[in-house]
Each structure stands twice: as C-alpha cells, then as structure tokens.
Amino acid sequence: MQAEHLEIIDFLRRYPPFNELPEEALARVAANIDVSYFKAGTQILEFDQEVDAWYVIRSGAVEVYRRNGDLYNRLSEGGYFGEFGLLRENRVRFPIVALEDTLAYLIPAPIFKELFEQYENFADFVEVEDRSRLRQTVARREDANELLTSSIEVLIGRAPVTIETGSTVREAAMRMSNEGVSSLLIVHPPGSSQDSESCMAGMITDRDLRNRVVAKGLSYDTPVTEIMTAELIHAEHNQLVFEAMLAMLQHNVHHLPILKHGTPVGVIALSDIIRYESQNSLFVVSRIFRANSVEELSTLEGEVRSCFSRMVHEDANSKMIGRAMAVIGRSFKQRLLELAEEKFGPPPVPYCFLALGSMARQEQLIVTDQDHAMVLDNSYDPMKHDAYFLQLAQFVSDGLAACGYTYCKGEIMATTPKWRQPLRVWERYFDEWIDDPTPQTLLNSFIFFDLDGVWGKTEWADHLSRYIAHKAQRNARFLACMARNALLRTPPLGFFKEFVMEPSGQQTQSIDMKRRGTAPLADLIRVHALAVGSVARNSFDRLEDVIAADILPQGRGQDLRDALEFISMVRIRHQALDLDAGQEPDNKIEPENLSDFERKNLKDAFQILSSAQKFLKYRYQASRIG
C-alpha cells in the first residue's frame, strides 16, 4: 500500500523550489525521501566524497565551505545543498558541516535529476551556476518592461524622408505631402565636403512651414536651409526609448532624428513614444522649469518622490530610474542657476557648473546629498569676480537644500573656495592627484572623476573628462592605488535567518546596500573604465566600454552588469517601500524584509562583486605593473 507522507509533503510545500511543483511530484518526492540526523559539529559531506542525494534541511542549520576552507554560506530550515555535486560527476564540491543539530531530508539522485529535467522552474531555481541564476532573474525583468527598456530602433517605422540642401520650401512641402510625413530631414548632397561627420544639415516640420514661412509671408522659393532648424538635438540608435523621451522633453522638441554612425536612420515623433510613458515622471521636469522661485521649486520635493515610487511600481529598471532622478536633479540645478543669474546679473566671466558623483553617473536615487563644483574661465580674477561666483554658488546650494538635497558633509560644493576655480587650476588638481596620489586625493578622485557639465560652458566638463581619461590610463601606479581603494568596501557573504552574514562568520542586523553593494561596484567599474580610457560616466555605459576593450575574463562583464542591476533594484525597491509606508527612506535593509528570492539573488550578486574585487586586485597590483 502506498503510504501517504503528509508531514513531509506539508513541509516541502512551504519552501521554494518545491512550492512550484505539482502535488503528484511532491508525493513522489516524499515517498522516496531518506531521512538523516546530524549532531551539531558533524561533517555531513566531505570534499570529493561521492554524493548520492540532494539534501534539504528539515530543521537545524549547516555551514557550507569552499574547498580552501573559507566559509561560503550558512543554510537553515528549507535550505538545500549537494546539487552542485549531483550535477557534476556526483562528487561533493562544497563540504558541509552541521552548525546546529540538523535533520535532513535526502532526495535520491535519480529523483532529483528527474525533477531537474522535468520542471523548468525547479531547475532554474536550483541551478548550480550562481551567475546564470542572476542572469535569468535580470533577463526576466528585462522582458517584463520591454518597451521602456527597448532601444529606440524598435520605434523606427521607416527610413527618414529627406531632401537636399539646395531645395526650396515648396519642394520640401510637396515632398512632405507626397510622403505623408510631418517632418523632413535636410541633408547635404552626397559627395559634398562637410566639417561634421554627419550628412544631416537640419530639419523642418509642419509647424515650421506654418510659423516660419506662411505666417511671415516668405516666398515659397525660399531655400529650405533658411527656415530649417540646424544644430539638431538627436539620439543614437541604441539609446533607450526612455532616454529619447527625456531628451525631447528637456529640449522641448517634438521630432527627434535618430542617427546610426552619423547617418540618420529615422525620425521619431513625441507622439510615437508618449503612449509608453503612462505616468508623468517627465512632468516633474517641466514643472521645475516653470517654477519662478526657490519656494516654488521646494514644493516639488513630494512630486519627485512620488515620481520615483511610480517608476518603481511600473517596473522601470535601475538605469531608467537613476537617469530620471539625475535629470530631475540636473533640472533643479539648471533652473536655480537661471534664477541666480536673473537675480545677480550675467556672469562676469564664463563658467561651467559641474555635477559630481552619483548624479554625474546618472545613478542618483532619492536619498542623496549635493556634490557639485564650478569651473571658471582662465581669465577669472578672484579679486574682481569671486564675490559674484560665491553668491551664485551659495544660492544654488541653499536652493538645492530647500528642495531636499542635503548639504554635502565633506564640503564638496561650489561654495568651498577650493572647488570654485579656473579651468587651469582644475587641470593642475587632476595632474597632482594622478601623478602623486595621497589617501586624501584618492578619495577626491573617486568623487570628482565622475563629473558632468550641467550649465554654462559644459564643453569644459567634456574636456576635463577626456583629460582625466587620457592621463589616468597611462599611469599604472595611479590605477593600482585606485584599485586598492576600490577594495576597501566589500560585500557580505549572504544572509542567514534574520542576519547579514559576513565572510568571517560574524552576523549583523542590517546591511547598507549602498556601502556594501552599489558603491563598491561603481568603484571597481570606474577603475576598469579609467584603465581603458573610457569617458563614459554611467556605470553601465562604462561597463560596455570595458567589455569592448576585452580586459575582463569571458562573461564577467555581463555578470557585473547583472549584479549591479539586481543590487540597485533591491536598494531602489526598498526605498520605494519606505516611501509607500510613509517612512524616511534610507539605504539600510534588514534581512527579515528580504524575500527568499531576493536573498538568493543578492547572494549571487555579492559573490560576483567579491570575485570581481579579487580580479581587480590581481590585475592592478602595483608590483605586477612595476
């Protein structure tokens, strides 16, 4: 007679991956289980020992070790081990010791393999390759918001309709009617020599014909080049739909040419994409530019927060959220500077206002302080001009504080005289920091090397970025120092019950996801980016340059991308949860608030970070470079 093993089935049903299995599979598992008891301290599995079953912890806890004796993990009730060995020649890869008195359910190898082959979800969950589990998780999320994370290419319906620069307004209008389009690209005739790489000269739209030709009473024989918009805002074919939207809103244009290697491949209209933006995260940006005082700006803090929450609920990815928050932060600075210039008059010499750190990397979240600086024209004379720029800096800094961006505790703000200097002084700073690094200047490099021009002579910011990239790439000693500093913050090992577990075996109550996760990842990606001369600022973009330069072992770049995405999203989601609960969001997470799913994937992500740090250390050893 078939015995019914109710107690075992009830237990299994409570834990993933068994909760995904149908009843008959659970019954089959329960009817074939072996049970073993292990006193605390017992070696349950030894390295290279033959393994004939998959172990599920019914009660108690075990420690999982690496071959070299390092602690790898702790598992408690519902945890499992042995799958690694079962799927690899039935030899134990990770030795196991009972941490507490432990009762284990042993699922015989043939039954385990049957489940693994028959049930895809089950196999995905227990998948031996940690990194591929994280890959699947991130990929699944990518599928879930395909439209928002797609590149613009998917929206291009047809090749752009163009006309050559020699044409008249009438010819242009006829072309538009015949083709049934509301915009027309004006291109240089083939073979004509141009300074710019692009063959695109400008664009006209229906609205331009109305406003610039008909309303002004111009002749229809007017050359089209006279009424077109030159200096077009455009997007690259591989940018995200979301980024294109932001660009259009920020510059108040309704048509956006898309370029691929300098050649227009299409034009998208705001109406093409606006339907994908169900909520008004961009509305905040336009509100910022319409605000007429610091008081008005400061009332928008709540909107920024709800915009953040909405994006999280709409399953936006971390790149979109980081970018949207950075664009909002940037818009605040721009509007404050506009207001400041209205108040104090035009600047006596040109300047560029820089955003630094996470905002420059477009990885800003809602819990953030203000990091900024000012680059002044080389003709700047402190005696004559500094009073003006100090006023300006003070106005922006106080304004930002009023809008929820707290003052930087490290004084990394344009109000600090040292960070309000002419371009040549900035170049000298960077020379010193790179040629002769000290502990303090290394910390500066971490912050200032992520710089973005927000206002004024933004080309100076690009110049400084290239200056840094060019100089740092050639300085092995500097890179070694940066690498060493990037290893100061390490990830934990994982989670055990309601604790965060450290590699030393110590357990703590909560984890700072920024300090232990996203920050060390951004730090190590920055070192690689400097080494390959990348001028990208966003960590994901930097990773792409690093991957293209082929300095990472095969597949590790993708792993890092997945790890950064997952850790960032956990951090973001928990901040959104705090906001929803009416609490002040922070970067701390208590393990009891993490789902099983988050715990598993976070552990994998931490593992990836930890191995990436080992690789960093190896690659940039001072002695090795010598």
Partner 1 sequence: MFYLSKKQLMEEELPAGHRSPDWPTRLAQLAEQARNPSLKAFYQAGVVAAGTPISEVPLVAMDFETTGIDASRDEIVSIGLVCMTLDRIRMSESRHWILKPRADLRDESVVIHGITHSEVESAPDLTRIREQLLETLAGRVVVVHHKGIERRFLDAALKRRIGEGIEFPCIDTMELEARLHRRKPGGLLDKLFGQKPRVSIRLPESRERYHLPHYPAHNALTDALSCAELLQAQVAHRFSPDTPVSTLWS
Residues engaged in binding partner 1 (CB under 8 A): 1, 3-8, 30-39, 42, 58-60, 100-101, 103, 106, 108
CA dist 71 → 301, 501, 508 (Å): 45, 10, 16
CB of 20 to partner 1, least distance (A): 21
Residue 32 Cβ vs partner 1, minimum distance, rounded to whole Å: 5
Identity of the residue, 63 or 598, whose beta carbon is nearer to partner 1 in the bound complex: 63
Q: Other C-beta atoms within 10 Å of 140: how many?
A: 10
What is the DSSP annotation of 326-366? HHHHHHHHHHHHHHHHHHH-S-SS-EEEEEETTTTTT---S
Of 592, 603, 570, 605, residue with least CA distance to 493? 603
Residue found by looking up tokens 């408690």 in the block: 76
- Cβ contact 360:389 at 8 Å: no
- CB 102, min distance to partner 1, A: 8
Residues in the chain: 626
CB of 59 to partner 1, least distance (A): 4
Q: Which is nearer to partner 1, 80 or 478 (CB)?
A: 80
**Minimum CB distance to partner 1 smaller for 105 or for 419:** 105
56 vs 311 by CB, closer to partner 1: 56
* Omega within 30 of 0 (cis) for the link into 17: yes
Residue from 376, 335, 369, 385 nearest 353 by CA? 376
In the bound state with partner 1, the residue whose beta carbon lies nearer, of 8 and 282, is 8
Provide the 8-state DSSP code for 587: S
Q: Enter the DSSP assignment of 87.
A: T
Work out whether strand 183-187 and strand 200-205 pair parallel, antiparallel, or are unpaired: antiparallel
Shortest Cβ 239–partner 1 spacing (Å):
55
Nearer to partner 1, 42 or 250 (CB): 42
Tokens, residue 177: 């009617």
Do you find a cis peptide bond into 591, omega within 30 degrees of 0? Answer: no
Least spacing, CB of residue 496 vs partner 1, in Å: 17
Q: At 600, which helix (H) or strand (E)?
A: helix 596-619
Comparison of 29 and 483: residue with beta carbon closer to partner 1: 29
**Residue 125, token pair as written in the block:** 């969950």
Minimum distance of partner 1 from residue 99's CB (angstroms): 11
- The smaller minimum CB distance to partner 1, of residues 106 and 259, is found at 106
Residue 105 C-beta: closest distance to partner 1, Å: 9
